[in-house]
Amino acid sequence: MAGPKRLTQHDIAKLAGVSQATVSLVLNGAPIALARIPQETRERVQHVIRTTGYVADPIARRMAKGLNRILGVFTYEPAFPSEQADFFAPFLLGIEEEAQQQNYDLLLLTSAGVGGDRKIFSEGNRLRIADGCLVLGREFDRTELERLVLGDYPFVAIGRREDAGGPVPYVGGDYAAGTRQLVEKARSLGHSKLAYIGPKGPAESIADRWRGFVSALGQGVELALHIDAVNRPAAEILDAIAGSGATAAFFIELADAVRVEALARERGLEVPQDFSMVVLGSHIRAGRSPVRFTSYEIPREEMGRQATAMLVNRIETGSAGSQVLLTCEPVEGETLGPVPMGSTTKRT
């Protein structure tokens, strides 16, 4: 991966004012060897390592003492609370299956802070226990991503990420193409006025959906309503759709669609006879419904598997990794139908 010069042990030694051998002992030395280094010197070297984000060159580590055969897994949001479980579980399943196949253990990095303060480079982080790391999250810390790209530590992001001081190796879903395909399906059924319920970004996964949606407009299809947020009251969303004249509504989040569809039934509206609903594959917040929404499948398990395989290849060969987008296959569902007679959403 091309980019600015990466830090080496020699650089750390110069910054700390010690020899390279001292840096090597601090990073990899046994307790007996470390005991010969004054505590003040050890602390100075460790401070430089922490502040620069330096991680040991995996090739040098392999030559020196072999691999630990441990893969780190870091998530910017907690991986296991109930409201996130549906989102992260398939990724983790794919990661675990491929790690077993590759004969690696997994280390879930949980000492990285809580809530919005989760950091890969947190004080006392244990990245160096693992040979490389998989990074997941709806939004990444841009500064940390740049440090990863410019460092020597192997990592792979799950989900597309913009370049950050150099190319970011990732395996993601092609949300733009999947979304465009659904818009084109709606157009083929006669829908010309569409509603979009959800933000434009800033997370790449959200921005890609918006980009795919906008790219399919034109040719007689227009955006009649955009609610630039999620988790708005269902009545507010449904009233806005009815008032806009939109005949098909596209939802970023399943939970919003579930609440709006349930309220529509309470009001005597039928989906898709009175208006159509499409969900753009994402369900961060929990949402349950007997209705099978028209959508697309996000290949989360396969993303986890391929990202893990890419990471192992980076660790074992020193490769730069690549950028892969997997197809999001359409789900026919039962909520997208022909445009209603008269092309006007029924009001209550």
Q: Which domains does the chain have, with CATH numbers?
A: 1-54 (1.10.260.40), 175-297+331-343 (3.40.50.2300)
The string of pLDDT tens digits covering residues 88-101 is 889 999 999 999 99
pLDDT at residue 19 in the model: 86
Closest CA to 258 of 240, 231, 236, 239: 231
CA 270 vs CA 12, 191, 257, 291, 335: distances in Å: 66, 16, 14, 12, 9
CA atoms within 13 A on the CB side of 307: 35
Residue 27 CA to residue 232 CA, distance in Å, equals 51
Residue 186 CA to residue 276 CA, distance in Å, equals 9
Could you give phi then psi for residue 133, rounded to 5 degrees? Answer: -145, 140
The string of pLDDT tens digits covering residues 132-165 is 999 998 888 889 999 999 888 899 999 999 999 8
Closest CA to 144 of 164, 162, 130: 164
196 forms beta bridges with 226, 250
- Of residues 260 and 54, more confidence is placed in 260
pTM of the model: 0.77
Residue 344 CA to residue 247 CA, distance in Å, equals 7
52-61, 113-122, 193-202, 213-222: least confident range:
52-61
